[in-house]
Structure 1
Amino acid sequence: MDRLSLVLTLAVGALVTGGFVIAVLAMGYYNWAAIGGAAAAGFLLSWPGAYMVSRRIKRRDPEWDHRRAERAKGPIPRPGAPEV
Structure 2
Amino acid sequence: MDRLSIFLTLMSGALITGALVITLFSLGYYSAWGIAISALLGFALAWPSAYLVSRRIKRRDPEWDHRRIERDAALKPSAPEV
Distance in 1 (alpha carbons) for counterparts of 2:67 and 2:28: 45
Please, what TM-score do these two structures have when normalized by structure 2?
0.79
- Max Rg structure: 2
Q: 1:48: how far off?
A: 0.7
Residue correspondences, number:
78
Distance in 2 (alpha carbons) for counterparts of 1:69 and 1:27: 46
Name whichever structure is richer in helix by fraction.
Answer: 2
Quick check: 1:83 aligned with 2:81?
yes
Runs (5+) with no aligned partner, structure 2: none
**RMSD of aligned alpha carbons:** 2.4
Q: Secondary structure at the match of 1:58?
A: helix
Superposed structure 1 runs of 4+ greater than 6 Å apart: 67-71
* Identical residues among aligned pairs (%): 64
Please, what TM-score do these two structures have when normalized by structure 1?
0.77
